[in-house]
Amino acid sequence: MTALTCFKAYDIRGRLGEELNEAVAQRIARAFAEVLGAERVVVGRDCRTSSEALADAVKAGLMEAGVEVLDLGLCGTEEMYHATAYFEADGGIEVTASHNPMDYNGMKMVRAGAAPLDAATGLAQIRALAESQNFAPAKPGGEVRQAKAARGAYVRAVLSFIDLPVLRPMKILVNAGNGAAGPTFDAIAEALSKKRAPLSFICLNHEPDGSFPNGIPNPLLPENQPATAQAVLAAGADMGIAWDGDFDRCFLFDHLGRFIPGEYVVGLLAEIFLAKNKGASIVHDPRIIWNTQEIVTRLGGTPIMARTGHAYLKQALRDTGAVYGGEMSAHHYFRDFACCDSGMIPWLLIVELMSRRGVTLADLVTERMAAFPSSGEINFRVADAEAVLERVLAVMAPKAVARDNTDGLSLDMGGWRFSLRSSNTEPLLRLNVESRGNSVRVAQAVAELRALIEA
C-alpha cells in the first residue's frame, strides 16, 4: 500500500507526477464516492494545463462507482459549491491548485449541501480507501451530464446578496490574473448590465491561460499587487479587484491604488451584514481580531472566533447560524451561500456600501487601519515549529494579560497582541501582530518576535 502524500489538512494538494497524477486522482474520486455513498457528484476544474486531464480522471473514478457526474467544466471553486447544493448532489469536487506553483494541482471536496468533509473522519476514510484500493466492485450506471443550468443559477444567487437599485455609477478595474475568474465575471457583468446597474469595468489579464503568462495569480503576495494598483491609477478607477486562480478569494484596492488588507474587509462585510441582520453572529479567524470584534460588538452583533481554515470557518457558520464569516486571507463565507466562501459576493457588497454612503473605499477603511494597525502575515520557515512556539511562549507568556489557543498561540499583551501558528498547508510558522492605534508598537513587536523565532 502506497501512502498518498497529497492529502493535506482539509483538501488535496500535491506536486504533479510524484504526488498527484491521473491514476491517483481516479483512485481518490472512487474512494470519495464509496465513502460518501454518492449517487450524484458535481465536478469542476480550474484552467491549469493539468486540470482537464485530472478532471477526466476524477469523472472516470466516479463513474466506476456508478455515479451520475454533473460536469461544470471550467469554473471557480465557489461554482462547484453552489452547484452541489443547488442540484442536491451528494458531493462536489473541484480540480484546482488555486495559487500554488505551476507544478502543483489538487482537489477541493465537499459532501451534500456543500458541507466540508471532516478531516478526522471523512477525509481520513477517503485517504485510507484510496491508498488500500480495496474498492467495492464497479457499479453500472455511471454517466456524465453537462450541468448547463449551473452558471445561470449561480449568478442569480450571487446577485441576490445586493440591493441593485442603490448602486451608483462606478468604474471598476478587475484583474483575473489569467485564472478561472474571467468567464464567470463576464456572466455576472452581463446580468448586471441587463438589470441596468451603473457599473463599468476595465478587464486586465482576463482570459484563462493555464500557462499563467503574468505569473501565478496570488494577489496576497506583495510583489503581485503593483500590477493591479498601477492599472487602477492608470484607468482612474473607483476601485480595483483581483482574484486568485480559482477565485474563491478576492482582493481589493482603493482608488489610490492602495491594497486593502483582508482583515479590514472582514470588518466592512461584518458591518454590512449587521445592518441587514440586527444582532447577528459574525465568525472570524484568530489571527487579526480587534478591528472586527470592535465593529461587531459596537453594532450589537456577536463575534465568534473559529480556527483558521475553510473547513473550520464553514463548520462554525453551520454550528452557530452566523450570517457571515471572514478570514484575513480574503476568504469570505456566507450563510445564504451554503455557508461557503465566494470571491464574487464580497466586492459586490462593498460596491453597495460605497454607493449607499457616497464615499470611496479609502474613506471606509483609512480610519479603521489607523485605529487598529496590523503587521500583515509574516512567514518563517523553521526546522522545529513546536520548539519555536515553546521558546516564544516562555519569554512572552509571563508578560501577557490573556492567552488563547484556538489556533496556535495568541497572546494579548495589553496594548498589542500577536498570533503565531503553524500553517495548515505549508511548512511555515505564520506571525500576525496588531495594536490599538500604535503602528510603531507593531513594528517593535515584530522585531522582538522575529528575534525570538529566528534565534
Instruction: Report the catalytic residues.
Output: 98
The contacts of residue 151 (CB under 8 Å, 6+ apart) are: 72, 75, 79, 184, 187
Strand bridging mode 332-334 / 324-326: antiparallel
How many Å apart are CA 229 and CA 255, to the nearest integer? 9
How many Å apart are CA 218 and CA 175, to the nearest integer? 11
**What is the separation of C-alpha 347 from the centre of its chain, rounded to a whole number of angstroms?**
14
CB atoms within 10 A of CB 35: 21
Q: What are phi and psi of 423, to 5 degrees?
A: -65, 145
In the chain, what is the greatest distance between 2 CA atoms, to the nearest angstrom? 66
Grid cell listed for 277: 441582520
Specify whether the CB–CB gap between 122 and 148 falls below 8 A: no
DSSP string covering 218-269: -TTSGGGHHHHHHHHHHHT-SEEEEE-TT-S-EEEE-TT--EE-HHHHHHHH
Residue that has been written with the C-alpha cell 482570459 in this structure: 207
